[in-house]
Amino acid sequence: MKDQRRVMLPVGLGLCALGISILSADFGSKNLSARPAPGKVDVEYKSQESFTLHEPVVVTFSVRNGLSKSITLKLGAQYTQYFQFSLTTPEHQILQSSRNPGQDVSVVTIGSGTVTVEAGGKYERPLLLSQFIPLKTPGTYLLTSKLSTEIVISEDGILSPQSKTTQLHISSRDPARLEKVCEELATQAENARTVEAAEFPTLALSYIDDPIAVPFLAKILSGHTLEYDLAIPGLERIGNDDAVESLLSALNDKYGEVDMLARQALTRLQDRISNPNLKETVRRTLSQTEHKSSQ
């Protein structure tokens, strides 16, 4: 299958507005008409410089094709497989994004996992950094972003895309700010008319590893919002009492695989539950549901 994605959507993603406007950004990938520098291919990774702790950090990958020929980007599965990130923490620790080798045993890509950018065109894709590396403390980070595959120039040449290092300032947790971000992401997910439109806001919400996100994730889940299943690993990551209660409620939800996914999440996180009463409730409930499912 040789198809390559050629999406020509209007309206650019306002990079300069990626700050608070993460709340209203259109998260879809874009293959745009633009005015790239002639005779060269520009690869950029842009994000706002400052975030509050636990806020989704979105890095926008963009390629401007200033050549007179089309170019092909190999992005891999989910159009994210071949991105690599390296993060230098405030403590000077270097964290690398890495894939479990077992993930590569069976790889499904959309189409051929490639994107074609026509001559003079531009492609953009938002990347959720938390999916690759979590940012757990406030401070100043150095983020190096790279596409690890070569860019093919109309079958007669290749380019090695350059990496880019940027600075990220993560300020202290701001509950009001986080609440607003969660609310906007949840609203986008709930208003989405297609699973495609619902995916990125739900994903971004699910990676907000903060108790503030719990009621929003619970609402996404119980409301059977499109891409509702992404809320379950989000609740599992947070793992506080409220998240556990939400997952316990989901055990009675027969929509899709909600009950099964909730049971799996509770099974994995039960050792992390600090509240002894809740821990016992989870243990007993899992034991009962396991007994039921084996009957």
Binding-site ranges for another protein (CB under 8 A)? 1, 3, 5, 77-78, 81, 100-113, 193-196, 199, 224, 226, 254-257, 260-261, 263-264, 293
Reduce the DSSP state of residue 119 to 3 states and report it. Answer: coil
Cα 8 from chain centroid (whole Å) = 23
CB of 31 to another protein, least distance (A): 13
Q: How far is the CB of 98 from another protein (least distance, A)?
A: 9
CB of 118 to another protein, least distance (A): 17
In DSSP terms, which residues pair with 124 in a beta bridge? 30, 62
The Cα–Cα gap between 138 and 281 comes to: 35
Strand partners, 33: 121
Least distance to another protein from the beta carbon of 295, Å?
12
Nearest distance, CB of residue 168 and another protein, angstroms: 27
**CB closer to another protein, 5 vs 54:** 5
Instruction: Tokens for 21, please give them.
Output: 């406007």
Smaller CB distance to another protein: residue 231 or 261? Answer: 261
- Count Cα atoms within 13 angstroms, Cβ side, for 186: 22
Residue whose pair of structure tokens reads 């396991």 in the numeric block = 290
100/274 with CB nearer another protein: 100
Is the Cβ of residue 16 or residue 108 nearer to another protein in the bound state?
108
- Between 196 and 280, whose beta carbon lies closer to another protein? 196
Phi-psi region of 154 (alpha: psi -120 to 50; beta: other; left: phi over 0): left
* Phi, psi (degrees; rounded to nearest 5) at 284: -65, -40
Tell me the Cα Rg of the chain.
21
